[in-house]
Amino acid sequence: MSRAFSISARRPYGLVRVCAAWRVSRATLARHLKCTNMPQAPRRRPGPQGAMPDGDLAARIRALLADSPFHGEGYRKVWARLRHAGIRTSPKRVLRIMRQYTLLAHQRSGSARGPRAHDGRITTDSVDEMWGTDMTSVATGEGQAAVFIAVDHCSAECVGIHASASATRFEALEPIRQGVRASFGAFARNTANGLKIRHDHGSQYMSRDFQNEIRFLGAESWV
């Protein structure tokens, strides 16, 4: 259109006049013309490509895996073997290439085993049927402190909490004592019949003193 000849003015319209009439900047027009006239090169991954192309690096990785006495190797070991062979590249690139060319070691999916696999429901229908207890540690101005808690599995209410400088089995019992006194009225023999205490396999909870006191209350230790 800019090269079209105006009959009245007896000269071409020109690029400036055409862009002003179309309300398009000349930079935009020049960019579109450049993209139209130049062939589109295939897009490449941004950033440096490393010491060799991806295909050649995949071949070297495949050769390393073939020489390995194991059936599969992780990408970190492959990356270390490449560095030992004088091929410098990044671990993330090795992981990407091994995943792209299906060179990663096969991983078996885990399965549920024994009593550690519950039925998918750890909540109860009413309160004081099951309590969960656990320990965490926090840093204070006086040093490290162990915090023991006990939570009801129905209402999610904290029935007992206790902090101590030591994480012994006797300190782990304190939240249970608080909850039994508040929910069952007293801390005595068989006052918490039918209650289940859920905990992990920590040394405090698996100790003989902790288990004996749970049986003294009439409760059941449930892992």
Percent of the chain with pLDDT over 70: 78
- The phi, psi pair for 101, rounded to 5°, reads -100, 15
The residue among 11 and 171 whose pLDDT is bigger is 171
pLDDT attached to residue 85? 87
For 196-207, what is each residue's pLDDT tens digit? 999 887 888 888
d(CA 2, CA 49): 43
- Mean pLDDT computed over 158-162: 93
Domain 125-222: which CATH number of 3.50.50.60, 3.40.50.2000, 2.60.40.10, 3.30.420.10: 3.30.420.10
Beta-carbon count within 10 A of 61 CB: 23
Q: What is the per-residue pLDDT for 13?
A: 64
Give residue 148's pLDDT band: very low, low, confident or very high (50, 70, 90). very high
* Maximum average pLDDT range among 102-106, 122-126, 201-205, 219-223: 122-126
From CA 86, how far away is CA 44, in angstroms rounded?
Answer: 25
Q: Is the pTM for the entire model greater than 0.75?
A: no
The four Cα atoms 49, 54, 56, 60 give a dihedral, to 10 degrees, of: 110
pLDDT at 158: 93
Average pLDDT, stretch 77-86?
89
Residue bearing the bigger pLDDT, 70 or 188: 188
Give whole-number Cα distances, 214 to 115, 172, 220, in Å: 20, 12, 7
Evaluate if residue 88 carries a pLDDT over 90.
no
Residue in this structure with the two tokens 């230790």, named with its chain if needed: 221
**In this structure, are strands 130-140 and 196-198 parallel, antiparallel, or unpaired?**
parallel
Q: What is the mean pLDDT of residues 103-111?
A: 69
Domain boundaries of the chain, sorted by first residue = 5-37, 54-100, 125-222
pLDDT confidence of residue 151:
94
- 77-100: average pLDDT: 90
CB contact at 8 A, 79 and 91 = yes
For residues 40 and 178, the model is more confident at 178
Helix (H, G, I), strand (E, B) or coil at 221: strand
pLDDT band per the 50, 70, 90 thresholds, residue 103:
confident
pLDDT per position as a tens digit, 110-131: 655 555 555 567 888 899 999 9
d(CA 26, CA 37): 16
The rounded mean pLDDT for the chain is 82
* Dist CA 73 CA 77 (whole Å): 7
